[in-house]
Amino acid sequence: MAILAGIVLLAFTVEIVVKYTLGPEIPWFAQLHGLIYMIYLITTIDLARRANWSVGRIIGMCLAGTIPLLSFFAERWVVKSVRAS
């Protein structure tokens, strides 16, 4: 889910840049991004509950979905830590 959220966030960032420089906008894209991010949050909280994460780790993962490219790194880190445990 983090990879999908990261791809949509990158595409949304490009859409915002295009919107403010060239003019055309995709009106439904912001809603798609919001929906994907909400699913990402639910998935993160479910994983955190199952893996007994600390509050700081949960907040960090939730914030990782708001910064372009960070969700890709967070996904690798989480997969590695969950497989190790």
6: left (phi over 0), alpha (psi -120 to 50) or beta: alpha
Which one-letter amino acid corresponds to residue 59?
Answer: I
**Cα four-point dihedral sign 74, 76, 82, 85:** negative
d(CA 35, CA 24): 22
pLDDT given for residue 59 in this prediction: 93
Mean pLDDT for each consecutive 10-residue tract of the chain (85 residues)?
91 90 86 93 94 92 90 90 84
pLDDT given for residue 62 in this prediction: 92
d(CA 11, CA 45): 24
pLDDT given for residue 24 in this prediction: 83
pTM of the model: 0.84
pLDDT given for residue 10 in this prediction: 92
pLDDT given for residue 56 in this prediction: 93
